[in-house]
């Protein structure tokens, strides 16, 4: 299902939390939703679901959510780890959610087992750790097998094994033609999980592209090479008008193709000891991009 957000906007008093935000979630893709604290991510998710009243609209295959009869088969949400009544058991909570789209009790039990909550299914949710609460939230989101998943910080509090499971699960879920939007602060995890990212800051859209394009766009040098004659290679590259930066015997070169650089060294009888792509990280790129627009800056250490 294609999700189209058109001109989303929201003000809290005089503060504009989200401003004219438009983007599209395509089916079959896990999209990461990034932004510094207070950038408007959660507000955007709430606007998409019409939980917050604001400007703009969100269309699910061209229709607003209110035009669908069974909402939880259209969109599954997990907006907060602790969105349950503490006195209610995990199974009762899921059965309650299941009522909206008449999901069977068998499916509830199946999800409970799948998500690893079988042993605590009849325990009150107030006894749950953050990780268990996150699992319960995820179980609720996927209960009716929705076509769209909107998840706000689903990996918070999860142990490494469960994060790994979550990553695989979301990629598989998207591979079945579903749209997945995941907001997270775990940038290294997002780099592995998402194919596309949407970056916002102060409620404004900063980027909406594939993870690779996002990283490359903000990266000066693509290749790093260590050779026996760095002076020679540096002058050869400079003569060809290619940007190069020297760090001892390591050269950082602004070229896209390792093969082309390797051939160039071979043609000039330069021995290559090491050649690799200088890949920037999502975290590094994200920090550079948002450093100017971060609202609640933290002091240096």
The residues of the shown chain that bind another protein, judged by CB under 8 A, are 46, 49-53, 65-66, 70-72, 75, 77, 79-80, 82-89, 92-93, 95-97, 99-102, 140
For another protein, the closer of residues 83 and 187 by Cβ is 83
* Sign of the C-alpha dihedral computed for residues 231, 236, 239 and 240 taken in this order: negative
Can you count the helices (H) and strands (E) in the chain? 11, 13
| CB of residue 135 to another protein, shortest distance in Å | 16
Among candidate residues 163, 177, 101, the one with its CA nearest the CA of residue 134:
163
* Sign of the C-alpha dihedral computed for residues 116, 118, 121 and 125 taken in this order: negative
CB neighbourhood size of 65 (10 A) = 17
| CB of residue 116 to another protein, shortest distance in Å | 21
For another protein, the closer of residues 46 and 178 by Cβ is 46
In 202-291, at which residue ranges do the beta strands (DSSP E only) sit?
A: 204-210, 223-227, 244-247, 250-253, 272-277
For another protein, the closer of residues 66 and 292 by Cβ is 66
| CB of residue 202 to another protein, shortest distance in Å | 20
For another protein, the closer of residues 71 and 272 by Cβ is 71
CA dist 2 and 29 (Å) reads: 10
| CB of residue 29 to another protein, shortest distance in Å | 22
Among candidate residues 214, 212, 233, the one with its CA nearest the CA of residue 224:
233
| CB of residue 165 to another protein, shortest distance in Å | 23
For another protein, the closer of residues 152 and 191 by Cβ is 152
For another protein, the closer of residues 25 and 197 by Cβ is 25
How does strand 196-201 pair with strand 204-210? Answer: antiparallel
| CB of residue 171 to another protein, shortest distance in Å | 24
CA dist 118 and 81 (Å) reads: 18
- Residue 116 Cα distances to 112, 121, 127, 160, 255, angstroms: 6, 9, 16, 15, 47
């Amino acid at each position: 299902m294609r999700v189209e957000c058109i001109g989303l906007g929201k003000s809290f008093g005089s503060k504009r939390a989200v401003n004219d935000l438009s983007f599209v979630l395509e089916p079959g893709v896990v999209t990461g939703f990034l932004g510094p604290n207070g950038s408007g991510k959660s507000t955007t998710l709430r606007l998409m679901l019409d939980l917050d009243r604001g400007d703009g609209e969100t269309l699910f295959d061209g229709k607003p959510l209110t035009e669908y009869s069974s909402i939880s088969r259209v969109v599954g949400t997990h907006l907060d780890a602790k969105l349950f009544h503490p006195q209610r058991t995990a199974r009762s909570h899921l059965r309650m959610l299941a009522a909206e789209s008449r999901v069977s009790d068998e499916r509830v039990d199946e999800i409970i087992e799948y998500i690893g909550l079988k042993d605590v299914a009849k325990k009150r949710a107030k006894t749950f750790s953050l990780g268990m609460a996150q699992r319960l939230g995820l179980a609720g989101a996927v209960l009716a097998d929705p076509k769209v998943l909107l998840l706000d910080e689903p990996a918070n509090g999860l142990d490494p094994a469960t994060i790994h499971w979550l990553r695989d699960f979301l990629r598989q879920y998207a591979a079945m033609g579903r749209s997945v939007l995941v907001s997270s602060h775990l940038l290294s995890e997002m780099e592995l999980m998402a194919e596309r990212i949407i970056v916002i800051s102060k409620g404004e859209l900063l980027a909406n592209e594939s993870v690779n394009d996002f990283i490359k766009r903000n990266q000066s040098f693509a290749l790093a090479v260590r050779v026996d004659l760095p002076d020679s290679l540096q002058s050869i590259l400079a003569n060809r008008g290619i940007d190069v930066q020297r760090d001892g015997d390591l050269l950082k070169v602004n070229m896209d193709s390792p093969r082309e650089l390797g051939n160039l060294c071979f043609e000039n009888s330069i021995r290559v000891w090491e050649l690799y792509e200088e890949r920037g990280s999502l975290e590094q790129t994200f920090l550079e991009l948002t450093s100017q627009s971060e609202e609640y800056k933290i002091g240096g250490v």
